[in-house]
Structure 1
Amino acid sequence: MPRQIPYIIGNEACERFSFYGMRNILVPFLISSILLGYLPQGPDREGAAKDIFHTFVIGVYFFPLLGGWLSDRFFGKYNTVLWFSLIYCAGHACLALFEGNANGFYTGLFLIALGSGGIKPLVVSFCGDQFDQSNKDKAKLVFDGFYWIINFGSFFASLFAPLLLRNYGPAVAFGVPGVLMLIATFIFWLGRHKYVNVPPSKADPHSFLNVVRTALRERRPGQGNAGTTIAWTGISVAVAMLALWALKAVGAPVAFWPESFGFVITACLALGVLIAFGGWGASLQLDRARGVHPDIAVDGVRGVLRILIVFALVTPFWSLFDQKASTWIIQGNAMTVPHDQWWWPSWLVKEAAQMQALNPLLVMLLIPFNNLVLYPALRRMGMQVTALKRMGWGIAISGVSWIVAGLLQLWIDGGAQVSLAWQSLPYLLLTFGEVLVSATALEFAYSQAPHAMKGVIMAFWYLTSTFGSLWVLLTNAGVRNDGFKAFIGQTGLSEPAFLMFFFAGFAFVAALAFAAYARTYPMQDNYRVA
């Protein structure tokens, strides 16, 4: 086992406490904060808090694109992580200092999104860089341990941050995670002389984008240019979306562009169109890059495009998972904390937001259970537990968790006093799905990425969470439409219950599509040679 691994793991534990400490109290803080004082208490303020939360999540998982590019192209992983960590610390300071100032607080959220997102794709791949072919069998243990320590930090953050907010106010509740982020940066810096530093691939003529550009530009006699046409169509649609948003923003009468589609939604949709149409077009003409670029580079790009399809099919999972810190907290606030029951830890668990601590606690239990009990048992039964099978089942199980949450919501809507303890069941199911999807994907994404593109492919993996929150924002925008509200009313369900069953169905459709694609996916082995 590489001796430098403890520095990376220790940094990750403190950073995750820092991130989840502020993230898991963001919605409760906003609902009660003067920052949203212009809205009345109730569904409007809760909806605005959810929008701010998921916009923040979109930023956190968008900026890995920037961090991955700077690392792979210019600074290397170590330097990029160190400098973005300092930006991250500055963001926490803003939250603690400007709890009642909208400009200062939202600047802090932006800096945390930039810093956290910038390092997010790099710490995992930097950890992978410490292994080679001689000890790659240890990598799976470390990736699982890496995910375990993430949840170790998240558990204590989820448990104690709501109590800090309740008892000491937002300055302390946001300040303590900032101190932990400073400690995380220091621990990472301490290991600077022990790390294996893979240098950045500067000005690579055979990079992913260069190969794609060649494939789309090359002309072949007697062959059409359907791929180029598709790519240009995507560019045109993306530009048109941004132009329509800009016209709407300056007051132009653009009736067919939704009022609720702000810049974040529009920019994410435009990015999705660019990736989808550009990747589709390049895949049709990729062989035209052979000769101009070596076969290994062209095959590497084809491998990345296949991985992006896997990633796209995972995005619905994140739309369900990230709402445990928004929709499920709001549901929990409408439930009864069972302080009168002898088995309920009333001395510790006082807020619905603290139920999120169940997620990391269950992860820490389920990862060793899966590795030591479940997977060996399935293998003895003759079942091959591949990474893609685990991920597909994880998406489906997350859908089941939202069916249970929807049933609880129906119970609440019926006027019953529902115990908060019942939320343990959907948390258990969602967490089991998360372990199958997210812990597996860390190993999958690193092993499948070509050597020169590991930072960027990890950034694309984290971008799946951006699109997961995009689906939430689009849904929230949709339910503000009078026609859609009328449709929900015709179902006889409340809006929260309808949306819970909707997202469950979304996950089931995604799981079926994932299973169909996984049958044809060719697995790769891209660990570094010693």
Structure 2
Amino acid sequence: MTTAATAPAAAGRMPRQIPYIIGNEACERFSFYGMRNILVPFLISSVLLQYIPAGVDRESAAKDVFHTFVIGVYFFPLLGGWLSDRFFGKYNTVLWFSLIYCAGHACLALFEDSRAGFFTGLFLIAFGSGGIKPLVVSFCGDQFDQSNKDKAKIVFDAFYWIINFGSFFASLFAPLLLRHYGPSVAFGVPGVLMFIATFVFWLGRRQYVNVPPSGADPDSFLAVSRTALLARAPGQGRPGLVIAVLGVAIAVGLLVLWALSLRGMAPGWWPDDFGFVISACLALGVLIAFGGIGTSMQLERARGRHPDAAVDSVRGVLRVLIVFALVTPFWSLFDQKASTWIIQGREMVVPHDSWWWPSWLVMEPAQMQALNPLLVMLLIPFNNIVLYPALRRMGFQVTALRRMGWGIAFSGVAWVAAGVIQLWIDGGDDVSLAWQTLPYTLLTFGEVLVSATALEFAYSQATQSMKGVIMAFWYLTSTFGSLWVLITNAAVRNDAVTASIAGTGYSENAFLMFFFAAFAFVAALAFALYARRYPMQDNYRVA
């Protein structure tokens, strides 16, 4: 392996090592989405959920497992990014986490009847997948320099295309493998693909440009925040520190309540279904919120002890955090397409008798998820070539924040459509699975407006030294999105809540769909109000 200083890319040429990285990404994405998209249907019908208590249905328990897994996938990027930047570098971190990833797939294939073995596999996949998530794209970017940077955009476009290509075929074929060959094969094939991904990545080891780890940064986000909170100002107290300490106390209290609940000693108002994952995520959210508020109150005290640029960069990150917090409801809706919508699809009729339905390919409700990556590949060029230019000609400014706000709103409309379909099902009619095309299309349009735009927005708002911090917080938006789902699932197991839902005349499924739609609409409104006074920055690198 070479270093950035000794092996510049050939002038104007595509780096020879790029195909290894692209090949790795293609196989890894197929493996991830292949297992992810069959997880809920497998759990619903497996013996692994025999432990669930009376009164909890298997579908709700399967959703809990799925969203707990998603929380892990988007939490562990914090660890992977830190290890890479501080100690091991991107190549070593990606390779080692990939081996853990492979071990997780092996557990799924080998322990389909063992709760401990299967759930260990899910943990290892979340750990491995999350660990490499923030690194592969940036490692790819490290292979370029000033002489061939014009080729980087081609490769990043290929990355996005490969992700959706892998997701599309995985969504189509993994449910068929589960149906015809059983869980060992259905989970084993993605495992083989992940092993191939790791092998392909390893093959390029002698050609990669390896940027050394940066080590400790005395002006990092945490270092500046710590200085701001602890610094004293003449004649003034430290109200920001009080707020931050209060956040720590609340976070510790949440974990203590969880520990007490294990012994049956928690107070009566503490929900029985608030396990470790929910409690720990709530504690993390409290730490980020209270710590961010406290730091913002005293941030100016860090000037003089840290460069002004570092202090201003932290201020920018804190502003972006508010934007990200308002995006978390979108992810609570989006990730349920692989849980709640699959469960709804199982109640619908696959229209095999219709001449226009591809019965030779689409046989299972879980395969409807293939619409998402297919539509992404169609909608992105449509938006860039047709929709956005047309809106500009009409006098509408298509800013990043406006796109994100409308994307959250469109996700709400998608869930209204899903709720109407659920009412139709609850009425006793045979409803064609084809009707799910409508909510999938609306949700994917919202995804394109939110997800793709958010990366562009975050990059422009963060200075070079804070781009890694911004990406870590961006991944956490998915973690908190699934947290809202787990909290909602826990709430509907409360007798008072279920009685209130019954009083509306809606089924629990239909009520929750309209609830999540309202959740998105409120978030979109709050997002729009904050966006009106958000001070946009431009931190693109000067050529």
CA contact (8 A) 1:158 1:353 kept: yes
Residue 265 (structure 1) aligns with: 278
**Which residue of structure 2 lines up, in the alignment, with residue 208 of structure 1?**
221
CA distance 1:41–1:136, shift in 2 (3 Å): farther
The structure-2 alpha-carbon separation of the partners of 1:237 and 1:41, relative to structure 1 and needing over 3 Å to count, comes to closer
Q: Deviations over 1:156-214 (max 9, x none)?
A: 00000000000011111001111111222233334445545443221211111111000
Residue equivalent to 1:67: 80
1:112 to 101, 108, 125: 125
Q: How does 1:79-98 map to 2 (within 5 A)?
A: 79-98=92-111
Give yes or no for the alignment of 1:437 onto 2:450: yes
Question: What is the deviation of 1:42?
Answer: 10
Match for residue 452 of structure 1 among 449, 465, 475: 465
- CA shift at 1:250, angstroms? 1.9
The match for 1:224 among 227, 237, 240 is 237
Matched, 1:23 2:36: yes
1:361 to 2:402 alignment: no
Partner Cα separation in structure 1 for residue 167 and residue 464 of structure 2: 31
Report deviation, 1:136.
6.8
Task: Indicate the residue corresponding to 1:425 in structure 2.
Answer: 438
Question: For the Cα contact (< 8 Å) 2:56–2:493, is it kept in 1?
Answer: no
1:282-301 correspondence runs (5 A)? 282-301=295-314
Q: Which residue of 1 aligns with 2:59?
A: 46
1:2 and 1:130 in contact (8 A); partners too: no
Structure 1 Cα separation of the partners of residues 327 and 150 of structure 2: 26
Question: Helix, strand or coil: the match of 1:24?
Answer: helix
Q: Can you list the C-alpha shifts for 1:68-103, whole angstroms capped at 9, x where unaligned?
A: 111222222222122111111110011011111111
Q: Counterpart of 1:288 in 2: which secondary structure?
A: helix
Q: 526, 529, 534: which is aligned to 1:513?
A: 526
Partner of 2:356: 343
> Contact conserved, 2:100 with 2:124, CA < 8 A, in 1?
yes
For residue 200 of structure 2, what is the amino acid of its counterpart? I
Aligned to 1:314: 327
Alignment-mate amino acid for residue 444 of structure 2: T
Partner of 2:253: 240
1:501 maps to amino acid: F
Give the drift of 1:105: 0.5
The correspondence of residues 487-506 of structure 1 with structure 2, limited to 5 A, is 487-506=500-519
Whether the 8 Å CA contact 1:11–1:185 is kept in 2: the answer is yes
Identity of aligned residues (%): 82
- Equivalent residue for 2:481? 468
C-alpha distance in structure 2 between counterparts of 1:194 and 1:382, whole Å: 49
Match of 1:404 in 2: 417
User: C-alpha separation between the residues in 2 aligned to 1:442 and 1:181?
Assistant: 26
Gaps of 5+ in 2: 1-12
Q: 2:339 aligns with which of 295, 303, 326?
A: 326
1:352 Cα deviation after fit: 0.5
* The 10-residue stretch of structure 1 (194-203 or 399-408) with the greater mean CA deviation from structure 2: 194-203
| Rounded Cα–Cα distance in structure 1 between residues aligned with 2:154 and 2:289 | 34
- The residue number in structure 2 matching 1:185 is 198
Q: 1:520, CA displacement in angstroms?
A: 2.9
Partner residue in 1 for 2:10 = none
Alignment length, in residue pairs?
A: 530
Query: How many angstroms does 1:299 deviate by?
Result: 1.2
Whole-angstrom distance in 1 between the partners of 2:220 and 2:535:
22
Whether the aligned pair in 1 keeps the contact of 2:14 and 2:151 (CA below 8 Å) is no
| Alpha-carbon distance in 2 for matches of 1:67, 1:333 | 37
Question: What corresponds to 1:250 in structure 2?
Answer: 263
Q: Distance in 1 between matches of 2:237 and 2:145?
A: 43
Distance verdict in 2 for CA 1:394–1:67, change over 3 Å: same
What is the alpha-carbon distance in structure 2 between the residues aligned to residue 267 and residue 108 of structure 1? 21
* Aligned position for 2:490: 477
Task: Tell me which moved more, 383-392 or 293-302.
Answer: 383-392
Q: Distance in 2 between matches of 1:59 and 1:93?
A: 18
1:459 partner letter: A
- Do the aligned partners of residues 5 and 519 (structure 1) sit closer, same or farther apart at CA in structure 2, a change above 3 Å counting? farther
* TM-score normalised over the length of structure 1: 0.95
Unpaired runs of at least 5, structure 1: none
In 2: Cα distance, 1:164 partner to 1:426 partner: 26
Corresponding residue SS for 2:273:
coil
Whether the aligned pair in 2 keeps the contact of 1:201 and 1:452 (CA below 8 Å) is no
The answer as to whether partners of 2:461 and 2:537 remain within 8 angstroms in 1 is yes
The CA RMSD over aligned residues, in Å, is 2.1
